[in-house]
Structure 1
C-alpha cells in the first residue's frame, strides 16, 4: 500500500468512525427527547407551571456561562434541568402517612402478648438502601446509603419496602445529612409507633474538581450520622448495640466512622459569612479579601433564587442563605473560555480541530501511555457533574520523546472543565493527542454521571466508558489490545 493509500484509508476509517459516533449520539438524544415529551403529556398543571418558571432561570445561567442556549445539546437543557430538580425534590409533595397507612400487619407465629418481631426483644433492620439527595448548601446531589432498624410494638410490623420509601420522602428534599437522619427517625417513630427506631446513614459529597483524585469515592467528602428513638436511646442500649453489630456484618462500623460527622460537609461553603442571597461579608486574610469570597454574577444568583421559589422553597430560609451564590460559583468552574493550552509545543484552544498529520503512520512505534488522569466535567444536558478518569495512549513519531504527564493532565482539564458530553470529550482529547503524536492515539474515558442517579433513573452504581481510536491504533489490533491490557493491569494500583 502506498503512503497516499494508507493515509486515505486512515482518513476514511476516521470519517466512518465519526459517522458512527454522530449516529449514536443522535439516537441517544432522540430517545431522551421522546421520553421527555411523553413525560410532559402526563405531568400536572402545577408541575408544568413550575417547570415554566424554572426554564427561563436556567437559560439565564447558560447565558452567564457564555453559552448559546440555542445550540444543539443545550436547546432542551432548561427543560431537562427543571425536570431533574422537580424529580429530585418530589419529597416536598409526599406525606409519610400516605405511605405507611395500610402497611402495618399483625405478626404471624408469635404470642400476641409479646408483640416483638422474631420473638421477645427482636428487631428488624434493612441495610444498604441506596438513595440520593440534594445538598441544601450548594444544590449538588449527594449519594446516601441508609440503614434503618426498628423494634415493633403492639404485635404489628410494617412492610419492609415502606422503610425505604419513607427514607426517600425526606431524601428527596434539600437536605444536610444529620437533619435527614433525624427526620427519617422521627417520621418512622410517629407513623408506625414502634418501641424504637434507629437510623444510620453514610453520605458522599462530590468535591471541587481540583480535589477529585479518581473515579471512585476516594477524594469525596464522606460523613456518617445516626439518629435514635425509644429503646435505642442511651449509651448502654442493648438494642443499639445489636443494631451496630448487624451493620458490622456488612462491614459498616458506625463507631469508627463517627469522627467524620465533625468534618465540614459541603466543599463549596467558603469562609464568607452570608447575609442574604447574593451578598456576603468578605472573609479576609491579613487584611486581603480571600479569592473564594469573590461574589458571583448577581443576575445568575437571582436566577437560582427563582429556581428555589419554583421548587416551593424559601430562598431566605436560614439554611439556604448563600446557596444560590455557591451553586453559581460551582457552575462558573465550567464556563466557556478561550484560553489556550500548549501540548509539547502544539497550541490548542476551543477552536482546534483534528488535523491528519503528514508522514507514514503504518510502521510500528513504541506505545506510550498516561493512565488514570482524573477529571470532573459538567453534563451540558442536565447541568450535573460527571467525573472519572482518562486513559491516554499514543505512538511516538520516532524521536523517542515522551510527553510529560502534567501536559496530559492539563489537556484533560482543558476539555473537561466546560459544559460537555462524555462522547465528545473523548474524541476531542484523542484528536488533540493525535495532532501531536502524528502516528496513533487511543483514549478511554471511564465516568460516573450524577444525572444517572438524580433524575428518576437512579442507577446508583452505573458507569459509562467511551473510547476513541485514531491512526495506527485503528489498523493495528495488537497495539490497541496491548494498551487496553495495560489499563486493566494498572486499575487496581490507581490511587
Structure 2
C-alpha cells in the first residue's frame, strides 16, 4: 500500500521533477520552445555536443528554471495583499501605540533570490520588512513574504526591487508607513586569466539598500531607529550610513569583463535577446540593452577548449616543486594537505553557477618538497572553468593531482549550487560535499580520517 509504481518512478527520473507551478503542456508553450532553442544556440556557441549525456535535456531544464525564477511577471501583488487584511483594534484609552494603530510590525530575514538584470546571474537577498498599521487593520504576515517574492522573481537591481516592494505594500495595505531593507549578495565570477594572475580574487559584491513610504520617508525619523534596533536585537547589523552609497550599477560583471575578450558571438547575443522576450521583458529597456552581450561574454568563460593540453604544458614547468630536498626516507611519509582552494564553475544541467572550496590531501616522503599551492589551485581552476557537475569535477581534480604525485590522493569538494536555491525546491543554506579517494587513501581508514579532521569546520564558500 502506498508504494510508488516502478514504471511511474522511472518516468519521474527520466523527465525530472515537475514544479507545481508548471501546468500540463508547459513543454509545448511558445516561450518554453523559444528558450530551449536559444539555449541550444548558446551550447553550440560554447563548442559543446548538445547530444551528449548531461546536456540532452539542458535546454528544457534551463527553460523551466528561468520561467520559474521569473514567475513574478505573471503575478499581481495587490491580489495577495487584498485577500489578507484583517480588523484589529489598537489601544483603548491609553497613551502609546499598539495593535492595529501605530505599533511597528517587523518581519526579518526573508530569504529571496532574484536575477541581476545586467548579467542574468542570480543574486541572493535577505529582506527585512517593517510597517506601521493604521485604520485598525493588519495584514497576514505571510503575505509580506509573498509580496516580496513577487518582485524578487523578476529581472532586478537591488534599489528598484526595494522600491517596488515598498510601493506595493504601501498602496495595498494603506498603512501609516512601510519600510524595506535589502541585504544583497552578487557572485563576482572571475575569468580564468584573472584568477591565474590574482589569487586573492574577491568573489562577492554586497549591496545594502532601503526604501520607505509614509512615516518612513524621513530617513532621520525615530521610527527608523526602532526598525534598525529591532534588527540589531537579533544580530542583524545594518549600518545606516551604507544604505545610500550603492553605485549606479552594482553588477560586478559589467565592469570586470575584459575588453580583450572581443565582441561576443552575434548568434549567441540574439539567442539571449530571445530569452529576455520569452520571460516577458523588453530587451530595449535601457537597463537591459547591454545584458545579452554581458551574459555571452561571461558564458564564454566555459568554452569547451582543450584545457587538459594547456594543463599538461603548465605542469611540465612545475615538476621542480616535486624534487627531493636532501635525504629521502620512504619509510617516513606524511599526509600533506592543501585546504580551502577556491573554485567557480557552471552547472551543465541548468547553466547556473556553483562555487565553493576544494581540499586536497596526499602522501609525501620525507625529503621531498610539498607540491606548491599555486599549482594545485591552477588544477582546480582548469577543471572548474567548464560546464561541469560536482562529482566529475572532484574525480578530475583527484586523477590529475594523482598523475603528478604517484596516486595516493584524497579530494573533498564543498559547494553551494545556485540551482538548489534559485529554482525548484529552493533549499537556502544547502551545501554539497563530494569526495574522491585514490591509492592508499582508499584502503586506509586512518589516513582518510586524519585528512578529514584537518578540514576546518567553516570554509570560505560565501553566502549571506
TM-score over 0.5 (shorter chain): yes
Equivalent residue runs for 1:117-266 within 5 Å: 117-118=98-99, 121-209=102-190, 219-249=203-233, 250-258=235-243, 260-262=245-247, 264-266=249-251
Residues 81/399 of structure 1: CA separation in 2 closer, same or farther (3 Å cut): same
CA shift, 1:201, in A, is 0.4
Q: Write the distance in 2 (CA, Å) between the matches of 1:41 and 1:233.
A: 39
Match of 1:352 in 2: none
Residues 443/70 of structure 1: CA separation in 2 closer, same or farther (3 Å cut): same
Match of 1:432 in 2: 400
Q: Write the distance in 2 (CA, Å) between the matches of 1:271 and 1:469.
A: 37
Residues 170/471 of structure 1: CA separation in 2 closer, same or farther (3 Å cut): same
Q: Write the distance in 2 (CA, Å) between the matches of 1:191 and 1:120.
A: 16
1:345 to 316, 319, 324: 316
Q: Write the distance in 2 (CA, Å) between the matches of 1:43 and 1:137.
A: 32
After TM superposition, the structure 1 stretch with the greater mean CA deviation from structure 2, 108-117 or 134-143, is 108-117
Match of 2:321 in 1: none
Q: Does the CA contact (< 8 Å) of 2:357 and 2:459 recur in 1?
A: no
CA shift, 1:103, in A, is 0.3
Per the normalisation by structure 1, the TM-score is 0.81
Q: Deviations over 1:20-51 (max 9, x none)?
A: xxxxxxxx998654444686983456982211
Structure 2: 5+ residue stretches without partners: 1-8, 319-329
Q: Does the CA contact (< 8 Å) of 1:61 and 1:300 recur in 2?
A: yes
After TM superposition, the structure 1 stretch with the greater mean CA deviation from structure 2, 293-302 or 146-155, is 293-302
Report the count of equivalent residues.
434
Aligned-pair Cα RMSD in Å: 3.1
Q: Deviations over 1:97-145 (max 9, x none)?
A: 2211220001157449999643753110001000010000000000000
Residues 46/223 of structure 1: CA separation in 2 closer, same or farther (3 Å cut): same
Residues 486/318 of structure 1: CA separation in 2 closer, same or farther (3 Å cut): same
SS of the residue 1:328 aligns to: helix
Equivalent residue runs for 1:14-93 within 5 Å: 33-36=14-17, 42-43=23-24, 48-93=29-74
Q: Write the distance in 2 (CA, Å) between the matches of 1:377 and 1:400.
A: 32
Q: Deviations over 1:169-198 (max 9, x none)?
A: 000000000000000000000011111100
Q: Does the CA contact (< 8 Å) of 1:375 and 1:416 recur in 2?
A: yes
Equivalent residue runs for 1:305-454 within 5 Å: 305-339=273-307, 340-342=310-312, 344-345=315-316, 365-396=333-364, 400-454=368-422
Q: Deviations over 1:360-387 (max 9, x none)?
A: xx97732111111100000000000000
SS of the residue 2:252 aligns to: coil
Residues 398/346 of structure 1: CA separation in 2 closer, same or farther (3 Å cut): farther
Q: Write the distance in 2 (CA, Å) between the matches of 1:236 and 1:105.
A: 31
CA shift, 1:459, in A, is 1.1
SS of the residue 2:402 aligns to: helix
Structure 1: 5+ residue stretches without partners: 1-27, 273-289, 348-361
Per the normalisation by structure 2, the TM-score is 0.86
Q: Does the CA contact (< 8 Å) of 1:60 and 1:300 recur in 2?
A: yes
Q: Does the CA contact (< 8 Å) of 1:379 and 1:420 recur in 2?
A: yes
CA shift, 1:458, in A, is 1.3
